[in-house]
Structure 1
Amino acid sequence: MHARDILSRPVVTVQPQMPLRSAVALLTAHGYAALPVVDDDDRVVGLLSESAALAASSHLETALVEAVMTVPVEVVNPGTDTSTIASRMLAGGLRSMPVVEAGVLVGIVARRDLLRALIRDDTTVEAKIRALLDEYAGSRRQWEIDSIDGEVTIRGIFADDSEERIVATLARTVDGVHGVETSDTGALRHR
């Protein structure tokens, strides 16, 4: 798995000339550990972390982001392996890393993104499919969903062949699904 598979976007960013008070408001409103600082061309020039903002709290009214941002910034590219990202985060005590391509910010990877990737297991796949099917069927829990290593089986009552195909197609849209098999358990199709 790579950064491109787990990164978050769009990314909330700040600019170097932004008042620190405004940047801290963004940081806290969104619950982020850090915000990338970008120039006018969306190139990462720094990182505003919670700890840097907290250390500058006595100058909150007068300071600009550029006065407290961390430079240089550790960045990764979309093809960076997640194990490399995790190692770099742990070694550097980082809570997030901007993802850049050709020098331009394209996303961010936070520790929670890495953790989410670790638990992207069959239970997660089943829950995502169940949510899609609940939305499709109006919360009529009429199907059982099982996933083993991305191979999904959906059992239940389908109104007709068309609905069976729709349900299978919806399930295939979920990340981590490699194959879908359906099984109509109804004795008679509803007409």
Structure 2
Amino acid sequence: MHAWEIMSKPVVHVTMSTPVREATAALVDHGFAAMPVVNRENRVVGIFTEADALRCGSGFNGVVADFMTSPVEVVYMDADVDHVARQMLGDRLRCVPVVEDGVLVGVVSRRDLLRRLISSDDSIAGRLRSVLTDYSGSGERWNVRVADGVALISGQFEDEAERRVIALLARTVAGVERAELLNQAPA
């Protein structure tokens, strides 16, 4: 697998002349730990991180060029994902800009790397568990497994009305096509 297959795009980025306050707001608003800094030709010249923003202090005075981390490590679109993961772990990087001919085309984050390790059914099951925990107040009442969009939910149900509610709640989760309620733990 290659970087271009898992990278996030389009890329939220800033320029060296972006005010620190604006760049920090972008980090917070998008939930990013870091984002690339580019020049006029859209070439990566640095990275602006949460740590860089914290170094600015509460005044947030200045521009990104005054606080960004530079030089920055980049990877090419055809970089092997396992190599990218080792690079990120070894250098304790939260994200790595992806370039083509030196121009920013994407970003590989830790989350992008983790996404490839789980199936979409795993993600759906996690969201469904969260919905059921919100409903019941306990994450241990039902066991959940999802296979090809079919949610298998087992555990103790108060009555038939609760079974119907649980089945309806399950179908509100994106990706659940059908819900099956079982009296024993799914295999």
TM-score class normalised by the smaller sequence: 0.5 to 0.7
Question: CA separation in 2, counterparts of 1:32 and 1:53?
Answer: 12
Alignment-derived partner of residue 17 in structure 1? 17
The 5-angstrom pairing of residues 69-88 of structure 1 reads: 69-88=68-87
Shift of 1:120: 3.4
Contact 1:86/1:114, CA 8 A, preserved across alignment: yes
Shift of 1:35: 0.9
> Residues 114-162 of structure 1, C-alpha deviation per residue, up to 9 Å, x if partnerless?
00011137x36999xxxxxxxxxxxxxxxxx966xxxxxxxxxxxxxxx
Contact 1:126/1:146, CA 8 A, preserved across alignment: no
Alignment-derived partner of residue 49 in structure 2? 49
The residue matched to 2:104 in structure 1 has which SS? Answer: strand
Amino acid at match of 1:101: E
Alignment-derived partner of residue 102 in structure 1? 101
**Change in 2 beyond 3 A, CA 1:118/1:107:** same
Shift of 1:59: 4.4
Alignment-derived partner of residue 31 in structure 2? 31
**Change in 2 beyond 3 A, CA 1:56/1:79:** same
> Residues 64-88 of structure 1, C-alpha deviation per residue, up to 9 Å, x if partnerless?
1001100011100111111111111
What's the % identity of the aligned pairs? Answer: 48
Question: CA separation in 2, counterparts of 1:95 and 1:53?
Answer: 15
Contact 1:3/1:99, CA 8 A, preserved across alignment: yes
Question: CA separation in 2, counterparts of 1:100 and 1:33?
Answer: 19
Question: CA separation in 1, counterparts of 2:111 and 2:26?
Answer: 19
Give the paired residue count. Answer: 129
Query: Do structure 1's residue 3 and structure 2's residue 25 form an aligned pair?
Result: no
> Residues 89-124 of structure 1, C-alpha deviation per residue, up to 9 Å, x if partnerless?
111110000000000000000000000011137x36
TM-score (norm 1): 0.63
Alignment-derived partner of residue 68 in structure 1? 67
Question: CA separation in 2, counterparts of 1:43 and 1:20?
Answer: 20
Question: CA separation in 1, counterparts of 2:4 and 2:18?
Answer: 29
Contact 1:13/1:35, CA 8 A, preserved across alignment: yes
TM-score (norm 2): 0.64
Gaps of 5+ in 1: 128-144, 148-191
The residue matched to 2:75 in structure 1 has which SS? Answer: coil
**Change in 2 beyond 3 A, CA 1:125/1:58:** closer
Shift of 1:4: 0.7
4+ long deviations beyond 4 Å: 124-127
Contact 1:16/1:65, CA 8 A, preserved across alignment: yes
Question: CA separation in 1, counterparts of 2:8 and 2:46?
Answer: 18
The residue matched to 2:76 in structure 1 has which SS? Answer: coil
Question: CA separation in 2, counterparts of 1:118 and 1:126?
Answer: 14
RMSD, matched Cα: 2.2
